[in-house]
A and B are shown apart, each in its own frame.
Chain A
Amino acid sequence: MINYILSILLIFLISPFLTGLIKSFKMYMLFKKPLSPFQPYIDFMKLIKKEVIYSKEASIISRISPFLILAPIIVVVFLLPPIYKGSYYISFMDAFTITGLLSLSTFFLMLLGLDSASSFGGIGSSREAFISALVEPAMILTIFAVSLMAKSIGLGSAAINLATHFPTHHAASFILAGIAFFILLIAENGRIPVDNPETHLELTMVHEAMILDTTGANLALIETAGALKFGVFATLFATLFLPFGANLCWCLAVTVFILKLILISLVVGWIEINTAKLRLFKVPNLLGIAMIFGFLSLVTFYIVGV
């Protein structure tokens, strides 16, 4: 139980670091003077003290949304698979619940965008609705494929099954599902080919447009939610699709896990500096690739047989 709480704490603490790391890695690669990767923590401490400005058109939705955006993601963190073998994990929730909770968070984020009557918020919500509607099927298909390979839909037992008995003859469908999931990681967290988290230009904004009217402590909550979401996805990718290292002793396993997270962040950063943001109506092509990979993964699994 104690190591469960510790690993949850680890994910809470490391998530902002990962987003900060991506940013400083990008700046370093672009020959800018890099920020400290710990910048998100500083931002959080700064924002949380600031006063909150509500729009005069805003309703109660603006006041409750930040909590309802953050709360489901925090709950998801508690449902993540164990970092190393023997650690406690929650078995009474499965992967569908996690996608549902992430959608719940997005739902309130979109409502927040529409609440302040600004046209930017509308743009953001509308685009987010479009993207998340297309993410959903790819996500479910990938989960389906992974759960078949791991012989369990519960994330904890799936991760353990994959780590202990890796299905080597299903390596092809495993890799396909991994690629699909990685695309989803990028799309859900608003990284570059789908959304640019750094600009505030109306042509490119998706996530930023929705929270344009959010200030101070509320913004801190939402930024935390964003960072945690990245942490959640990175953890899922690390435990489900890079299933090694979990059998080591706990100190080594945790180190390997942190290294995996850093590796994922660096890969995401690497993709960001090498690609341009896609036009909104090209995004379905990228998500279509994820869907097709999800399908292919299932089909290969069925054809190869158990």
Chain B
Amino acid sequence: MIDVLIGFFLATLITQAFTTRLFRLILWYALNSLFLGLIAFYEGININDDEMKIMGIVTIAVKFFAIPYILKYFFAKFNIPRSIKPITSIQYLVIIIPIILVFTFYLITPLLNNFAHHSNYIAIAISSLMLSLLLMIEHKNIAAKIIGFLDIENSLFLLGISATDGMPMLIEIGIFVDLLMLIVIINILFKHQGEAQ
């Protein structure tokens, strides 16, 4: 089950890399977060960890509902251009994304000895980190960069789940608060930018 969910997680991330419309991007981000939350929840059931289950629910609540909604609201409010064409052309992306996927597996082979189980999850988590970075790289649009940043956060979360069987809840909650604060700051920045224009 977790394999399927992680597969969907990665798939949504890759789709983001090819998306050219802004709201579609937010949608994919929301789905990505949903799968992340499900992974956390399911893993919590598996290892019978209540904190993990709560984390999963909170993730879905914040990242699947709240953040996309806020983002969409702000983007609409500040007239961010809806078309976000990547500056790296598609044919290059087609080359780069498989390379990233394959090479993360290749690169962490020495690490795999230390993490006997979940080794594939770690590889996928690191590669999704790279993919999120790629998402930030390939767009000039500030909105896409924000989404990329949020994706990095998601990947880190996945890494946390798979590598360490969940971080302490306090830290996770802290990160959520940080995220919300970030959204607010971005809001202010946008506003500022809007006034400057």
A touches B in complex, CB < 8 A: no
